[in-house]
Chain A
Amino acid sequence: MDSQTIVAPMTPAGVSAVAALRVSGPKVREVVRALFGEKRAAALEPRMANLGSTRDPQSGKLIDSLLYIFFEGPNSYTGEDVLELYPHGNPLIVRDLLQAIRGLDGVRLAEPGEFTHRAFLNGKMDLTQAESVADVIHSANRAELENAHRLLGGALSKKIAALASQVKDISARLELDVDFAEEEADPDFAGWEARFVAVRESIQQVLNSFHGKASLSRLPLAVLYGAPNAGKSSLVNALLGEDRVLVSNVPGTTRDFVEVRLFLPGGEIRLVDTAGIAAQATDELDALSQKKSREILEEADMKILVVDGSSQECHSREGELASRHSREGENLRMSAFADMTNNADLVVYSKSDLCASPIPDGGLSVSSKTGEGLAELRQAMNASLFKQSADAEDLWITSEREKACLEDALAGIDRALDLLRNNPAVELLAFEMQVVRRALQSITGEISSEDILQSIFAGFCIGK
Chain B
Amino acid sequence: MSLIAEFDVVVVGGGHAGIEATHAAWKLGVKTAMLTMDVNAIGRMSCNPAVGGVAKGQIVRDIDALGGLMGLLTDKAGIQFRMLNMSKGPAVWGPRAQCDMKYYSEVAREVITNLLGLSVIEGELAAFERMDDGRLELTLLNGERYVTRALVITSGTFLASKMFTGLETSIGGRVGEPSADKLSECLAANGIVLRRLKTGTPSRLDPDSIDFDECDVQHGDDVAWPMSDRHLENTVPGRDADYFWGDAANKFVRNDCVCWITRTNIRTHDILRSGFKDSPMFSGRIHGKGPRYCPSIEDKINRFGDRDGHQLFLEPEQADIGRVYINGFSSSLPADIQLAAIHTIPGLTRARVLQIGYAVEYDSVDATQLFPTFECKKVPGLYFAGQVCGTSGYEEAAGQGLLAGINAALKIKGEGPFILGRSDSYLGVMADDLTNILLDEPYRMFTSRAEYRLFLRSDNAENRLKERAHAIGMISDNDFADWKRRCSLVETARIRLAEESALPEQANCILEAGGQAPATERTRWINVLRRPGIDPEQLFKVALPDLPLTRRDRWFMYAEEIYAGFFDRQAREIDDQKKMESVRLPEDFDYMQVTSISIESRQRLNAHKPLTLGQASRIPGVRPADITVLSHWLENRG
Chain A residues engaging chain B, CB cutoff 8 angstroms: 1-3, 26, 74, 79, 118, 120-123, 175, 177-184, 422-423, 425-428, 430-431, 434-435, 445, 447-450, 453
Provide 14 A-B residue pairs closer than 8 Å at the C-beta atoms, listed in order of the A residue. A2-B596, A3-B594, A3-B596, A118-B596, A121-B596, A121-B629, A177-B88, A178-B54, A178-B92, A181-B54, A181-B94, A427-B454, A430-B448, A435-B569
Q: How far is the CA of A1 from the CA of B627 in the complex (A)?
A: 11
Is the Cβ of B89 less than 8 Å from the Cβ of A428?
Answer: yes
Within 8 A of A (CB), among B588-607: 594-600
B311 at interface (Cβ–Cβ under 8 A)? yes
What are the residues of chain A within 8 A of B597 when measuring CB–CB?
Answer: 121
What are the residues of chain A within 8 A of B448 when measuring CB–CB?
Answer: 175, 178-179, 430
Chain B residues engaging chain A, CB cutoff 8 angstroms: 53-55, 84-85, 88-89, 91-92, 94, 293, 311, 313, 446-448, 451, 453-454, 532-533, 566, 569, 576, 594-600, 623-626, 628-629, 631-633, 636
Q: How far is the CA of A435 from the CA of B573 in the complex (A)?
A: 12
Residue of B nearest to A435 (CB): B569
Is the Cβ of B566 less than 8 Å from the Cβ of A428?
Answer: yes
Q: How far is the CA of A136 from the CA of B631 in the complex (A)?
A: 31
Partner of A422, one of B454, B532, B596, B632: B532
What are the residues of chain B within 8 A of A1 when measuring CB–CB?
Answer: 596, 628-629, 632-633
Q: How far is the CA of A178 from the CA of B87 in the complex (A)?
A: 10
What are the residues of chain B within 8 A of A26 when measuring CB–CB?
Answer: 595
Q: How far is the CA of A448 from the CA of B627 in the complex (A)?
A: 10
What are the residues of chain B within 8 A of A430 when measuring CB–CB?
Answer: 448, 453
Closest 5 CB pairs of A and B: A175-B448, A448-B624, A3-B595, A423-B532, A179-B446
What are the residues of chain A within 8 A of B596 when measuring CB–CB?
Answer: 1-3, 118, 121-122
What are the residues of chain B within 8 A of A122 when measuring CB–CB?
Answer: 596, 598
Check A445/B624 contact, CB under 8 A, given A428-B89, A428-B566.
yes
What are the residues of chain B within 8 A of A434 when measuring CB–CB?
Answer: 451
Contacts A426-B89, A448-B625, A450-B624 known; 16 new A-B pairs at CB < 8 A: A1-B633, A3-B594, A3-B595, A26-B595, A123-B598, A181-B53, A181-B85, A182-B84, A183-B311, A184-B311, A425-B88, A425-B89, A426-B88, A426-B92, A431-B453, A453-B624
Check A120/B533 contact, CB under 8 A, given A425-B88, A427-B92, A449-B576.
no
What are the residues of chain A within 8 A of B447 when measuring CB–CB?
Answer: 175, 178-179
Q: How far is the CA of A435 from the CA of B566 in the complex (A)?
A: 11
B528 CB, nearest partner CB in chain A, Å: 15
Q: How far is the CA of A177 from the CA of B446 in the complex (A)?
A: 11
Number of A-B contacts (CB under 8 A): 95
Check A449/B598 contact, CB under 8 A, given A121-B629, A178-B448, A181-B94.
no
What are the residues of chain B within 8 A of A3 when measuring CB–CB?
Answer: 594-596
Q: How far is the CA of A175 from the CA of B92 in the complex (A)?
A: 10
A150 CB, nearest partner CB in chain B, Å: 23
Q: How far is the CA of A1 from the CA of B597 in the complex (A)?
A: 10
A271 CB, nearest partner CB in chain B, Å: 45
Partner of B446, one of A2, A74, A175, A447: A175
B293 CB, nearest partner CB in chain A, Å: 8
**Which residue among B597, B623, B625 has the maximum number of chain A CB atoms within 10 Å of its CB?**
B625
**Which residue among B451, B596, B636 has the maximum number of chain A CB atoms within 10 Å of its CB?**
B596
Residue of A nearest to B631 (CB): A450
Q: How far is the CA of A419 from the CA of B573 in the complex (A)?
A: 23
Is the Cβ of A181 less than 8 Å from the Cβ of B84?
Answer: yes
A182 CB, nearest partner CB in chain B, Å: 7
Q: How far is the CA of A448 from the CA of B625 in the complex (A)?
A: 8
What are the residues of chain A within 8 A of B598 when measuring CB–CB?
Answer: 79, 121-123
Q: How far is the CA of A184 from the CA of B150 in the complex (A)?
A: 46
Is the Cβ of B628 less than 8 Å from the Cβ of A427?
Answer: no
What are the residues of chain A within 8 A of B623 when measuring CB–CB?
Answer: 123, 445, 448
Q: How far is the CA of A122 from the CA of B594 in the complex (A)?
A: 12
B458 CB, nearest partner CB in chain A, Å: 13
Residue of A nearest to B595 (CB): A3
Is the Cβ of A447 less than 8 Å from the Cβ of B628?
Answer: no
A31 CB, nearest partner CB in chain B, Å: 16
B175 CB, nearest partner CB in chain A, Å: 26
Q: How far is the CA of A183 from the CA of B598 in the complex (A)?
A: 44
Check A431/B633 contact, CB under 8 A, given A3-B595, A178-B448, A184-B311.
no
What are the residues of chain B within 8 A of A425 when measuring CB–CB?
Answer: 88-89, 532
B394 CB, nearest partner CB in chain A, Å: 17
Q: How far is the CA of A288 from the CA of B173 in the complex (A)?
A: 97
B298 CB, nearest partner CB in chain A, Å: 18
Q: How far is the CA of A180 from the CA of B55 in the complex (A)?
A: 10
Q: How far is the CA of A184 from the CA of B307 in the complex (A)?
A: 12
Q: How far is the CA of A116 from the CA of B84 in the complex (A)?
A: 52
Residue of A nearest to B601 (CB): A123
Residue of B nearest to A172 (CB): B448
Residue of B nearest to A182 (CB): B84
Partner of A121, one of B55, B88, B91, B625: B625
Q: How far is the CA of A305 from the CA of B633 in the complex (A)?
A: 63
Q: How far is the CA of A425 from the CA of B86 in the complex (A)?
A: 12
Residue of B nearest to A79 (CB): B598
What are the residues of chain A within 8 A of B53 when measuring CB–CB?
Answer: 181
Is the Cβ of B92 less than 8 Å from the Cβ of A2?
Answer: no
Partner of B88, one of A178, A435, A447, A450: A178
Residue of A nearest to B624 (CB): A448
What are the residues of chain A within 8 A of B566 when measuring CB–CB?
Answer: 428, 431
What are the residues of chain B within 8 A of A184 when measuring CB–CB?
Answer: 311
What are the residues of chain B within 8 A of A448 when measuring CB–CB?
Answer: 623-625
B452 CB, nearest partner CB in chain A, Å: 10
Residue of B nearest to A4 (CB): B596
Is the Cβ of A120 less than 8 Å from the Cβ of B311?
Answer: no
B369 CB, nearest partner CB in chain A, Å: 25
Q: How far is the CA of A177 from the CA of B636 in the complex (A)?
A: 48
B118 CB, nearest partner CB in chain A, Å: 37
Q: How far is the CA of A175 from the CA of B85 in the complex (A)?
A: 12
B500 CB, nearest partner CB in chain A, Å: 25
B307 CB, nearest partner CB in chain A, Å: 10
Check A447/B624 contact, CB under 8 A, given A3-B595, A426-B92, A427-B92.
yes
B393 CB, nearest partner CB in chain A, Å: 13
Q: How far is the CA of A158 from the CA of B311 in the complex (A)?
A: 40
What are the residues of chain B within 8 A of A182 when measuring CB–CB?
Answer: 84, 311, 313
What are the residues of chain B within 8 A of A449 when measuring CB–CB?
Answer: 576, 624
B568 CB, nearest partner CB in chain A, Å: 12
Residue of A nearest to B327 (CB): A182
B574 CB, nearest partner CB in chain A, Å: 14
What are the residues of chain A within 8 A of B633 when measuring CB–CB?
Answer: 1-2
Is the Cβ of B89 less than 8 Å from the Cβ of A453?
Answer: no
Partner of A2, one of B84, B625, B636: B636
What are the residues of chain A within 8 A of B626 when measuring CB–CB?
Answer: 121
What are the residues of chain B within 8 A of A177 when measuring CB–CB?
Answer: 88
Residue of A nearest to B87 (CB): A186
Is the Cβ of A427 less than 8 Å from the Cβ of B89?
Answer: yes
What are the residues of chain A within 8 A of B576 when measuring CB–CB?
Answer: 449
What are the residues of chain B within 8 A of A422 when measuring CB–CB?
Answer: 532
What are the residues of chain B within 8 A of A427 when measuring CB–CB?
Answer: 88-89, 91-92, 453-454
Residue of A nearest to B600 (CB): A123
A439 CB, nearest partner CB in chain B, Å: 12
What are the residues of chain B within 8 A of A178 when measuring CB–CB?
Answer: 54, 85, 88, 92, 447-448
Q: How far is the CA of A118 from the CA of B91 in the complex (A)?
A: 43
Q: How far is the CA of A183 from the CA of B304 in the complex (A)?
A: 14
A325 CB, nearest partner CB in chain B, Å: 63
What are the residues of chain A within 8 A of B595 when measuring CB–CB?
Answer: 3, 26
Q: How far is the CA of A453 from the CA of B632 in the complex (A)?
A: 13
Q: How far is the CA of A120 from the CA of B598 in the complex (A)?
A: 9
Residue of B nearest to A171 (CB): B448
Residue of B nearest to A448 (CB): B624
Is the Cβ of B92 less than 8 Å from the Cβ of A453?
Answer: no
